[in-house]
Amino acid sequence: MKQRYFITFAYDGTAYHGWQVQPNANTVQEELQKALSTILRQEVSVVGAGRTDTGVHARKMVAHFEIEGPLDGEQLTYKLNRLLPRDISVFQVEPVEEDMHARFSALARTYHYYIHTRKDPFRDKYSFEIHYDLDYELMNEACKLLMEYEDFGAFCKSGSDVATTLCRITEAYWSKDGDTTYHFRITANRFLRNMVRAIVGTLVEVGRHRITLEEFCQVIEGGRRTDAGESMPAHALFLEDVRY
């Protein structure tokens, strides 16, 4: 009888074309499956809690796989970390009930988007440098409005093959981390492709006083991606947490 296992891990997405396996492109899923298959000496496929785009990072990602017989999770974690590239780190491998699913059992996912306002060689790889003033108080007012809606088609990448654009956002706000550093935190039951970066881009338009709060609502209600702000660069986006 097969046993299902959850793997909890993190990765720097800089060198990868996102999470999901793709032809002719290196991905995190491919690296993880390759390492598991080598160690366990059989073909292993994993299912992730979600998909991250090219260049997006994860401080906590979860995936599941199934295999016959019991495993020593601690020993497998050690072996995976020895074999995987240095930009992928496994924290834990643990058995779960057979009905637990890395994607469909997840109750919430949290993302952070980082920005900084002064040239900084130690932040540039993981944060987006901006050179204009933002009204963070106004942007946080717009964040409150996000939680009044459920349909976020306006922030979904055009042409995405999704059954529904409905999501439930439970928290969204900007925080100041230091004199020149800030981050945006957002939690929802699910996210659409490119959704967080499109939301950030539109909030920046609010923060620059280019659109009003009323116009921000009109963007959401209109459901057209072309009305929302530009998609912000991927390198400053992190999947922070997945909760079950």
How confident is the model over 94-153, as pLDDT tens digits?
999 999 999 999 999 999 999 999 999 999 999 999 999 999 999 999 999 999 999 999
The domain ranges of the chain are 2-96, 108-243
| Confidence category of residue 162, pLDDT binned at 50, 70, 90 | confident
Q: Tell whether domain 2-96 is in CATH 3.30.70.580.
A: yes
pLDDT digits (tens, 9 = 90+) for 2-42: 999 999 999 999 999 999 999 889 999 999 999 999 999 99
pLDDT digits (tens, 9 = 90+) for 213-241: 999 999 999 999 999 999 999 999 999 99
pTM above 0.85, yes or no: yes
DSSP class of residue 185 equals E
Domains 2-96 and 108-243 share a fold: yes
d(CA 175, CA 51): 25
What the block records as the tokens of 194 is 């490119």
pLDDT of residue 158: 78
Q: Which residues are catalytic, by number?
A: 53
> Taking the CA atoms of the chain, what radius of gyration do you get in angstroms?
19
What CATH code is assigned to 108-243?
3.30.70.660
d(CA 118, CA 128): 10
Task: Report helix, strand or coil for 112.
Answer: strand
163 has a pLDDT exceeding 90: no
